[in-house]
Amino acid sequence: MYGSASTHDIPTQAATGLENEDPILLAEFEARIARGEKIEPTDWMPQLYRKQLTRMIEQHAHSEIIGSLPEGTWITRAPGFRRKMAQMAKVQDEVGHAQLLYSAAETLGKTREQMLSDLVNGKSKYSNVFNYPTPTWADSNVISWLIDAGAIVNQMANAKGSYGPYCRALDRICAEEAFHLKYGHDAVVHMATGTPIQRKMMQEALNRWWPAIMTFFGPSDKMSVHTEILMRWKVKMATNDACRQQFLDMYVPKIWEIGLTLPDPNLRKNEDGVWEFSEPDWEDFKRVINGDGPCNAERIAVRRAAEENGAWVRRAMQQPQARYVRPLA
Amino acid sequence: MLFSFDPRISRLELPESAPPPPDKAALDQFPTYEVFHQRKENTAYVYVGPVHAPEADVAFLFGKEQFSRRFPCTGMWVVPTEAIRVTEYGDDQQSVYDRLPLLPADALTTADAAGLEAYDIFHLKKRGKAHTHVGQVQAASPEAALQAAKAAFGDQRPVVNVWVIRSADLLRSDDDDRDMWTTTPDKKYREAIAYKVQDRIDRFKQER
Ligand SMILES: [Fe+2]
Ligand SMILES: [Fe+2]
Ligand SMILES: [Fe+2]
């Protein structure tokens, strides 16, 4: 799920620091990217490139691991054995994505230990949509289908980016996501075309999630020097607005065709083929991403408990040389 | 106490808020191993990615879980990251073998057969793609192995980067254990193709 250069951050106007870089190395680096070649970990790269990519891949990894929590809680309560198996397989995939992405981020110099610490101490962020709850099975289905759909829009774009290890991880991730999307769509269609109660449950879940989905790709990019550089370096592959438009174009018709409605009276495609919609509440987005959402505390607490409960296993494994010794007397 | 919609989480009685824990210690997550897989019988082993593990056997288990869970696989190799001798990276279109400093000839030939060891050689053909196994050479050191690899495989191009691994450092799946890779086809629910939703949508549209 969920990679994007600015999905999880409010854009800032920080200095680029480019004036401190070696101009010859910088020109070679930019020429390589312009030729369509990927950057590999031991290549020279500007500080800004390293910093932005680390942050982006790390946040992507955190989003996978935290994103598996709301769906994970539904494994035991999923209706029927087959759905339990499929939900479990999907959640396992998401955790695997986190593993791949943490390793890709590590190639840039930040350790996995530090990333996991920064997740629980709040120094780094994850996709804000996971700070909302999944009170029903239908909410879990909305995540499986539409949050994954949004994630796939991001991931397909980022897979064409310039950093080799991230591309390798994303190729694998995208291949696995094909199942998530179909599985999620199947689950939503099943509910929406089922009994009146199932249908109502799905509609209500969609109504709850739609505002968060509309913020998924982040606020409109201010076309700053920063954004321009990151796009030239193929760190950021598409603007947030372009991703949102692509998502609406692909999925709103699929939502409408199964008779569901969306809770935004202004949502429509205009004559120019551009989707119009009510501006999401970015103040609320800021408030939630900064910690004051319905599930922020729960997500971090559960993640932290998992780390603490697994500590003895890691400690035990770090002593493979320990040998059995028979008591003397 | 933390309240959750998931009763099992409420039952954990987690505190509503707590001061952040101290940062993790170094190596809390173990060192890394690099994993190669074989997707089909009689094809070359290809690099798939790293895993964190306390030792090679565990790395193999993690690698199997991570990289063979969802896709066909007929064999797997793991190696400690530190055991890989990596060359410089060249441009796409070039061969890094062209840039190898020539060792004095006697450095390569004086070692008697007893001092030789097998080394496995992997080539990266294009930046952003994965290293692929090209073959084995006999040599007395990683540097000599690289020279031997140039003699044996140097006509292939492009070669953006070469990995040289002492064959003894690779932990390899055993041919006799081949049935450990056969579980994947049973789990159809993990394939996109198992979800045929269009019929249901069409029926729904007709009934409306
Ligand atoms: Fe994912
Ligand atoms: Fe997902
Ligand atoms: Fe997914």
Mean pLDDT of A78-86: 95
Spatial CA neighbour of A148 closest among A82, A71, A249:
A71
pLDDT at residue A3 is higher than 50: no
Q: Which residues contact A34 (CB under 8 A, 6 or more apart)?
A: none
pLDDT at residue A293 is higher than 90: yes
User: Which chain B residue is nearest to residue A184, measuring alpha carbons?
Assistant: B195
In the structure encoding, which two tokens stand for residue A299, read together?
Answer: 């997500």
User: Which chain B residue is nearest to residue A186, measuring alpha carbons?
Assistant: B197
In the structure encoding, which two tokens stand for residue A245, read together?
Answer: 């438009």
Q: Is residue B6 domain-resident?
A: no
pLDDT at position A156 is: 95
pLDDT at residue A180 is higher than 80: yes
Mean pLDDT of A79-86: 95
The answer to pTM > 0.90 is yes
Which residue type occupies B17?
Answer: S
In the structure encoding, which two tokens stand for residue B104, read together?
Answer: 């004095």
If one counts the domains in chain B, the total is 1
Mean pLDDT of B4-9: 86
HEC secondary structure over chain A = CCCCCCCCCCCCCCCCCHHHCCHHHHHHHHHHHHCCCCECCCCCCCHHHHHHHHHHHHHHHHHHHHHHHHHHCCCCCCCCHHHHHHHHHHHHHHHHHHHHHHHHHHCCCCCHHHHHHHHHCCCCCCCHHHHCCCCCHHHHHHHHHHHHHHHHHHHHHHCCCCEHHHHHHHHHHHHHHHHHHHHHHHHHHHHHCCCHHHHHHHHHHHHHHHHHHHHCCCCCCCCCHHHHHHHHCCCCCCCHHHHHHHHHHHHHHHHHHCCCCCCCCCCEECCCCCEECCCCCHHHHHHHHHHHCCCHHHHHHHHHHHHHHHHHHHHHHCCCCCCCCCCCC
Q: Which residues contact A28 (CB under 8 A, 6 or more apart)?
A: A44
Range of the domain at B161: 28-178
Under the banding of pLDDT at 50, 70 and 90, the label for residue A6 is very low
Under the banding of pLDDT at 50, 70 and 90, the label for residue A13 is low
Contact A193 B201 (CB under 8 A): yes
pLDDT at position A324 is: 84
Q: Is residue B123 domain-resident?
A: yes
Q: Is residue B10 domain-resident?
A: no
Mean pLDDT of A279-285: 95
Q: Is residue B140 domain-resident?
A: yes
Interface mutation vs chain B, best among A37, A81, A309, most B CBs within 10 Å: A37
Spatial CA neighbour of A159 closest among A149, A147, A170:
A170
Q: Does B49 touch chain A (CB under 8 A)?
A: yes
pLDDT at residue B185 is higher than 80: no
The most confident of the ranges A137-146, B64-73, B110-119, B186-195 is A137-146
φ, ψ of residue A81 in degrees (nearest 5): -65, -45
In the structure encoding, which two tokens stand for residue A219, read together?
Answer: 């606020």
SS3 B122: strand
Under the banding of pLDDT at 50, 70 and 90, the label for residue A252 is very high
Q: Which of A7-16, A60-69, A212-221, B121-130 has the lowest mean pLDDT?
A: A7-16
- Ligand 3 centre distance from Cα of residue A207 (Å): 21
Under the banding of pLDDT at 50, 70 and 90, the label for residue A1 is very low
Query: Which residue of B25, B55, B200 is in closest CB contact with A193?
Result: B200
pLDDT at position A136 is: 96
pLDDT at position A78 is: 96
Under the banding of pLDDT at 50, 70 and 90, the label for residue A11 is very low
Q: Is residue B205 domain-resident?
A: no
Distance (Å) from the alpha carbon of B57 to chain A's nearest alpha carbon: 11
Under the banding of pLDDT at 50, 70 and 90, the label for residue A267 is very high
Mean pLDDT of A106-124: 96
**Length in residues, chain B:** 208
**Which B residues, 93 through 132, put their C-beta within 8 Å of a C-beta on chain A?**
127-130
pLDDT at residue A81 is higher than 80: yes
Q: Is residue B196 domain-resident?
A: no
Q: Does A251 touch chain B (CB under 8 A)?
A: no
User: Which chain A residue is nearest to residue B9, measuring alpha carbons?
Assistant: A302
pLDDT at residue A15 is higher than 50: yes
pLDDT at residue A221 is higher than 80: yes
Q: What is the pLDDT of residues B58-109, one digit of tens each?
A: 999 999 999 999 888 999 999 999 999 999 999 999 999 999 887 766 665 5
Token pair 């049973």 is found at B186
Q: Where are the domains of chain A?
A: 22-308
The mean pLDDT value of chain B amounts to 91
User: With contacts defined as CB-CB under 8 Å, which chain B residues touch A189?
Assistant: 197, 200-201, 204
Q: Is residue B21 domain-resident?
A: no
pLDDT at position A226 is: 84
Mean pLDDT of A225-244: 93
Does the predicted interface ipTM exceed a cut of 0.95? no
In the structure encoding, which two tokens stand for residue A61, read together?
Answer: 């990894």
Contact B201 A318 (CB under 8 A): no
Q: Does B78 touch chain A (CB under 8 A)?
A: no
SS3 B172: strand
Mean pLDDT of A240-260: 97
Interface mutation vs chain B, best among A112, A260, A312, most B CBs within 10 Å: A112
Under the banding of pLDDT at 50, 70 and 90, the label for residue A302 is very high
The mean pLDDT value of chain A amounts to 93
Mean pLDDT of B161-166: 98
Q: Is residue B149 domain-resident?
A: yes
pLDDT at position A216 is: 97
Mean pLDDT of A282-287: 95
In the structure encoding, which two tokens stand for residue B144, read together?
Answer: 């000599």
Mean pLDDT of B110-137: 91
Which residue type occupies B208?
Answer: R
Asked if omega into B72 is within 30° of 0 (cis), the reply is: no
Q: Which of A193-202, A244-253, B77-86, B105-114 has the lowest mean pLDDT?
A: B105-114
CATH architecture of A22-308: Up-down Bundle (1.20)
Q: How far apart are CA A156 and CA A150, in angstroms?
A: 10
Q: What is the number of CB-based contacts under 8 A between chain A and chain B? A: 152
Q: How far apart are CA A6 and CA A175, in angstroms?
A: 24
Query: Which residue of A92, A100, A185 is in closest CB contact with B197?
Result: A185
In the structure encoding, which two tokens stand for residue B77, read together?
Answer: 């190799």
Contact status, residue A298 vs residue B4, Cβ threshold 8 Å: yes
**Which B residues, 6 through 35, put their C-beta within 8 Å of a C-beta on chain A?**
6, 8-9, 12, 14-18, 20-21, 23-30, 32
Under the banding of pLDDT at 50, 70 and 90, the label for residue A153 is very high
Task: Please count the other Cβ atoms lying within 10 Å of the Cβ belonging to residue A123.
Answer: 11
Q: What is the pLDDT of residues B17-66, one digit of tens each?
A: 889 899 999 889 999 999 999 999 999 999 999 999 999 999 999 999 99
Token pair 């086809």 is found at B185
